[in-house]
Structure 1
Amino acid sequence: MNNVEDYHNPIVLERADPWVYKHTDGYYYFTGSVPGYQTIELRRAKTL
């Protein structure tokens, strides 16, 4: 099998391992690793 397709992250560009979680406080929390910086980004929002 040589069928390979590109995956485009619909949440945010250039973030690996994205994860969205809706907490009981009503906020959505987004985490994702930042390529090349060896860090994890955390964002919080009331809506998606």
Structure 2
Amino acid sequence: MKAIILAGGYGTRISEESHLKPKPMIEIGGKPILWHIMKIYSA
């Protein structure tokens, strides 16, 4: 199965972090948001 992960947007609610790096690369629990999304869909 293939999936497309839409990770766009301005990230205004997390603007403290999103002005330094892209929103999918902001870390939660030591890992980027994109890692968490990919882990969910790989199961």
Higher RCO (Cα < 8 Å, 6 or more apart): 1
TM-score range, shorter chain: under 0.3
State TM-score, norm by structure 2: 0.24
State TM-score, norm by structure 1: 0.23
Higher strand share: 1
